Structure 1
Amino acid sequence: MLRYFTSNRDKWPDRSPQKSPRLSYIRHIQHKHELDPIDSLALEHYFYSSWQSFSKDAQTEGIWINVIADLAYNHRFLLHGILACTALHMAHVYPAQRETYVIRAYAHQDTALPLFRYEIENPTTNNCDAIMAFAYLLVVFSFATELDNGQNSLLLVCNTGPDVQEKQLILPQWLHFIRCGCDMLSEVWDRIEIGPVSALSEAWETELDVGDSKLPYLERFMSFVPQDGSWSEHVISIYRDGASALADAFAYMDRETTKIDVSTWNILGLWCVRLKDEFYDLIFEKHPGALILLAYYCVIMKRMETCWYFGGRPARLIAAISNVLDERWHPYIQEAADQVTGLEIDGV
C-alpha cells in the first residue's frame, strides 16, 4: 500500500514549494502524533488536495487550509477525523485501492468517535472550534460511507440491533448532532461565532429570507393531503409545518440560485435541520406525508451531487422511499423522481 501511495504522488496537485500549504506544520503534526508512513502521506494529501472538497467559498477556505492545521495539532480526535475523511477521498481518487483506504478510514473514525463524544460532553473555549470542525467531517464521513451500508439511505437509517424486534427508522448520528449541536454547545456558542471557525457556524444557521416570494410548492404539497379523514388534524398540522418549511427552501434556492454557495451545511440547513421532532416521528412511523416531502427534498439535495462524498445519494433515497411507500402514493413522488433520476417509479 505504501508503495502504491508513493507511486501515485505524481498524480497529486502541484507540490512545488510555493504551492506547499503549511508544509512545516504538517511535519510537526506528523511528529507529535507519531503518524506511520501511510497516515503521513494521507495528511499531506489532505493539505494538498482533499481540503478543497470541503471549501465552497473564500470564508471557509481559510478554515480548511490554515485553521485546521492548528486544531489538528492540538486535538487528536480532529486529526483522526481528518485522516478518516482523507482516506475516503483517496478511495474515491484511487478506486483500485478503495478497499484498503476504506479500512484505514474506518479505523481512524473508530478512534475519533469516542474521543469526540467525550469532548462534546465537555465543551470548552479550548476545544469548541475543533468540535465544530469535526462535526462537519462527521457529516462528510457519514455521506461518503453511506453506500457501503446496504441498510442505510441518507436520512432513512434502519435500527436492526439485537434488541429491535422490527426494523425501525432512526435519525442518523450526523443529523442528530447538527440538530442538537447548538444546545450541546450552548455554553460556548458565543465563542464559536467569533472564533476562527465562525464561518462554519454561519453556514449551519442559514437565514431563509424568502421575502415576498410566492410558494407554489406549498400549494402542491398541501394538495397531497387526503380528504377522507385518514390523516388526523394533528398529523396534518405537523405535515403543514414541514411542507411550509420545504416550500420556503425551494423559494430560497430559486431566489438565491446565482448567489448561494451550495455547500453541505447550507443545503442541510435549508430543511432537515429546521424540522420539528414530531416530523421525524412521522418518518419513524413511515407516514406517507413525511416520506413524500422527503422525496421532494431530494430535488434540493441533488445540488450537492458534485461533491465526491455525495454523488448518487438523492437517487438512492428516492428509491428507498418508493420501496417504503405503498404504491397508491407513488404518483405523488413521481415529479421528484423525474427531477432527481429521470426514472419512472414502479407502480406509477
Structure 2
Amino acid sequence: MEFKPRRAHKKSRDGCVQCKERHQKCDETRPVCVLCATTQRQCSYLEQPLRPTGQPGGTSSVSNNPEAVWTVGVAAPPHVLEPVPSGEPRREENQVYALEHMVLLRHAESESAHFMMCDESSDALVSSICDLALTSQYLMDEFLALSALHLSVHDPSKHGKYSRMAVELQVRALSLHNPVTMELSEQNCIPRFVFSALLGLYVLHDTLSTIENDFDAFLGKFGDYLNLQQGVGVICKEFWHVISSSKGPAFFVSEEHISPDGSKLTSSGHACDAIEEMLMESILPPASLDTCRSATKWLKNAFRLFEIFSARGNRRVHAAIAFPVNVPPRYDELLRQKVPEALVILAHYGVLLHRCREFWIIGSGGKAMIRIIAAQLGQQWRRFMELPNAVVRD
C-alpha cells in the first residue's frame, strides 16, 4: 500500500499537558489554550497562577469575577492576536459587555442573511438566538464570538482585532458553559443545543481555514470537530421533543438529520457510488468496515438533504452539518489512524462542503480538504477519488 509517512510532531515547549498528551501543537493561549477551549477539555493552564497584564511571561490577568472578560495572552499565534490599532478604545476588564460588543450584536442582526445563510428565515433565526442569549450569558458570548469571527472575514483590514475578540469571547463562553457542572435538562437543553451548534460552526471554520501542509494537525482538529458535533447529536436525540418545538434549533437540525435508521430520508444520486465500490473490495476488519459503511450511509443522506434544501431554496448549506452530527464515533479513530477508506469518505464529504462554499464558514475549505487528502493517498486509491479530484481540477 502506497502511503506517505507520518510527519514529525512539532512540540510546543511550554504547551499545556492536554495538547502534549494528544501530540498536538499548543498555541499557549492563557488562561485556556484555544484547542482545549474549542474541544471543551480541562486545560492545565487553569491550574497555573496567572500574572497580571504587563508582567513578564506575556500572560494576562483575569478578574475573580466569573463574568469578567478574559484577555488572551500574547503567546497566541500572530494571526489570532494582532495588537489593536492605536486609537481604539480599550474596555475595562470588569465590564461584562462593552460598546464594541454591541457592534458585534448589531452586525449579526444587520448581516443576518450572509451571517447564517438561511435565506428568508435569517432574521427570525438571529432574533430567536438573541432572545435565548438574553437569559444565558454563555450563549450570548458564543453568538458574539461567531459575529466577531464573521467580521474578521468580512473586514480584512480589522482581521486581527476581530479574531482576537472572537477568541476572548469563546474562551469566556466555554468557561461559563462548563458542561461538567451543568446537568442537561428540558429547561436548559435549548440554549445548550444552540450554543453547541454555534460552537460547531466556529470550530468548523477554524479547522477548514487553517488547512495547510500538516496532515496530522488537520486530522486532529477535524476529529475534535466530529466529537463536538456528535455531542450535538446526543442532545438532539435525547431532547428532540423539546428542540423540535423551538424556532431557533429548528434551523440547525431537522428530523431528517437525526433519524436513527436513515429511513426517513431516501438517498439518491451517485455521489457515493465510488465509496460503496471501494467498501465492497475492502479487506478492513469487520468492525472498521461497519463503521465506514455507517459513515457512508450518513454521507449519502447529507447529499440528499442538500438536494432537498436546494429545491426548497433555503438552508441548503446546512446539509453539510448532517454528516458530522451522525457519523459513528469510531470513524474519528479511523481518521486519526489514516485508514485510507476513511480518508476517501472524508474527501467525498469535502465535495459536499465545496457545494456549500458560498457559506463563509466553509469557503474554499472543501477543496483544501480534498487536496490535502489526495496528496496523502497512494495511486491505488485514485479510481475511488474521481469525484473529489474533479472538484480540485475545476
TM superposition score normalised by structure 1: 0.72
Deviation per CA, 1:233-270: give whole Å up to 9, x if none: 4444433333344344445545664226344543221x
Contact 1:170 1:284 in 2 (8 A): no
Structure having the higher helix fraction is 1
- 2:198 match: 137
1: CA distance, partners of 2:194 / 2:334: 31
Residue 286 of structure 1: how far off its partner (Å) = 1.0
Identity %: 19
Contact 2:149 2:163 in 1 (8 A): yes
Residue 157 of structure 1: how far off its partner (Å) = 6.8
2: CA distance, partners of 1:52 / 1:170: 25
Rate the CA distance shift 1:256–1:123 in 2: closer, same or farther, 3 A: closer
- 1:165 match: none
Deviation per CA, 1:259-316: give whole Å up to 9, x if none: 26344543221x3333222333322221111111111121112222111121011011
1: CA distance, partners of 2:103 / 2:222: 35
Q: Structure 1 stretch 103-112 or stretch 141-150: which is displaced more?
A: 141-150
- 2:22 match: none
State the superposition RMSD in angstroms.
3.6
- Choose the corresponding residue for 1:44, options 80, 98, 106: 106
- Choose the corresponding residue for 1:35, options 69, 87, 97: 97
2: CA distance, partners of 1:41 / 1:217: 42
2:109 is matched by which residue type in structure 1? F
Contact 1:123 1:188 in 2 (8 A): no
- 1:286 aligned to 2:338? yes
Deviation per CA, 1:15-51: give whole Å up to 9, x if none: xxxxxxxxxxxxxxxxxx7522222222222222246
Rate the CA distance shift 1:56–1:251 in 2: closer, same or farther, 3 A: closer
Superposition pairs for residues 198-277 of structure 1, below 5 Å? Answer: 198-200=249-251, 202-203=253-254, 205-206=256-257, 209=264, 211=266, 216-217=270-271, 219-225=273-279, 227=281, 230-251=283-304, 253-254=306-307, 257-259=310-312, 261-269=314-322, 271-277=323-329
Contact 2:335 2:343 in 1 (8 A): yes
- 1:123 aligned to 2:184? yes
- 1:13 match: none
- 1:178 aligned to 2:223? no
- 1:329 match: 381
- 1:15 match: none
Deviation per CA, 1:52-110: give whole Å up to 9, x if none: 5215154564131x222222222111111122111111112210111111011111111
- 1:158 match: 217
Q: Secondary structure at the match of 1:341?
A: helix
Structure 2 unmatched ranges of 5 or more? 1-83, 90-94
Contact 1:242 1:279 in 2 (8 A): yes
2: CA distance, partners of 1:72 / 1:152: 38
1: CA distance, partners of 2:335 / 2:268: 27
Superposition pairs for residues 304-319 of structure 1, below 5 Å? Answer: 304-319=356-371
2: CA distance, partners of 1:225 / 1:185: 30
Contact 1:57 1:261 in 2 (8 A): yes
Q: Secondary structure at the match of 1:306?
A: coil
Deviation per CA, 1:125-175: give whole Å up to 9, x if none: 44322222222211221133335645799xx8739xxxxxxxx74654443
1: CA distance, partners of 2:345 / 2:237: 30
- 2:175 match: 114
Rate the CA distance shift 1:194–1:300 in 2: closer, same or farther, 3 A: same
2: CA distance, partners of 1:222 / 1:290: 12
Contact 1:78 1:133 in 2 (8 A): yes
2: CA distance, partners of 1:287 / 1:177: 21
- 1:94 match: 155
- 2:135 match: 74
Contact 1:239 1:289 in 2 (8 A): yes
2: CA distance, partners of 1:282 / 1:307: 28
Q: Secondary structure at the match of 2:217?
A: strand
2: CA distance, partners of 1:262 / 1:176: 23
1:222 is matched by which residue type in structure 2? E
Contact 1:151 1:157 in 2 (8 A): no
Rate the CA distance shift 1:332–1:5 in 2: closer, same or farther, 3 A: farther
- 2:243 match: 192
